[in-house]
């Protein structure tokens, strides 16, 4: 069953998806510039969390 969203909800979901995708792109773009292993691990964890969030949004909307 596909979720039915009100127009304002659809706008908010679109904005949330855009923010998550932008975060993923920024982390991916800056990952190669980082030399500190602790920071790199944090970035990898953040990247995984953002990807999981996008998958969760997709599963709710499907």
Domain boundaries of the chain, sorted by first residue: 7-22+31-61
What 3-state class would DSSP assign to 4? coil
Q: Compute the average pLDDT of residues 27-56.
A: 95
What pLDDT score does 43 carry? Answer: 96
Asked if residue 39 has pLDDT above 80, the reply is yes
- Sequence-ordered alpha helix ranges (H) in 1-62: 7-31, 37-61
């Amino acid at each position: 069953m596909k979720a039915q969203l009100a127009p304002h909800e659809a706008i908010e979901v679109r904005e949330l998806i855009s923010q998550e995708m932008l975060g993923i792109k920024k982390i991916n773009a800056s990952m190669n510039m980082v030399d500190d292993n602790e920071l790199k691990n944090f970035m990898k964890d953040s990247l995984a969390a953002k990807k999981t969030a996008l998958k969760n949004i997709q599963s709710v909307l499907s």
